[in-house]
Amino acid sequence: MLVLLQANVPNLGHIGDLIKVKSGYARNYLFPRKLAVLADERNQKSLEHQRRQADLKKQKELAVATELAATISALSLTIQKPVGEEDKIFGTVTTQELADAFHSAGHEIDRRMITIIDEIKLVGVYKGSVKLHPEVSAQFNIWVVAQN
């Protein structure tokens, strides 16, 4: 029996693959779990339409992420921290503080998307990174200044 996979199935295939399986396996396992459909012309056309829609959506998300990356690369975030002797900061700069700074700059960035590249121990300029999309990330400057 020819089936069209609607999901990735280990040891069988990936989404959209046309696979020949035994009819019992298809009826008892693949069809009830909605992992595959019978490979007829209507189902193949439907799957192709879904693929095209998913590709368009990916392209739009990539374009938006690329545009946002250009904006973020130009940003410099300023974080105020209390300092001690020799300009050593008390505590650490957290990704939540950076997310709040992005929010005040007008960008909604989740703290889990932010990575602090350099170890921040002193007052100065450091680098941070934001992963906006699996294919797009942007670096920005972090200015750590003494709190008045």
Average pLDDT on 50-74 reads 91
**pLDDT value, residue 87:** 87
**Across 5-9, 28-32, 102-106, 127-131, least confident range:** 5-9
The model carries a pTM of 0.69
Nearest to 139 by CA among 91, 147, 93, 125: 125
**Residue 139 reports pLDDT greater than 80:** yes
Homologous superfamily assigned to 67-146: Ribosomal protein L9, C-terminal domain (3.10.430.100)
Nearest to 51 by CA among 5, 11, 3: 5
Say if 2-64 and 67-146 have the same CATH topology: no
Q: What mean pLDDT is reported for the chain?
A: 92
Structure confidence by residue, pLDDT tens digits, 22-48: 999 999 999 999 999 998 888 888 888
Are 113 and 132 contacting, i.e. CB atoms less than 8 angstroms apart? yes
Average pLDDT on 101-122 reads 93
**pLDDT value, residue 59:** 93
Are 120 and 114 contacting, i.e. CB atoms less than 8 angstroms apart? no
**pLDDT value, residue 118:** 86
CATH 3.40.5.10 fits 2-64, yes or no: yes
**pLDDT value, residue 22:** 96
Domain assignments of the chain as residue spans, ordered by start:
2-64, 67-146
**pLDDT value, residue 15:** 83
**pLDDT value, residue 6:** 86
| Percent over 70 (pLDDT), the chain | 100
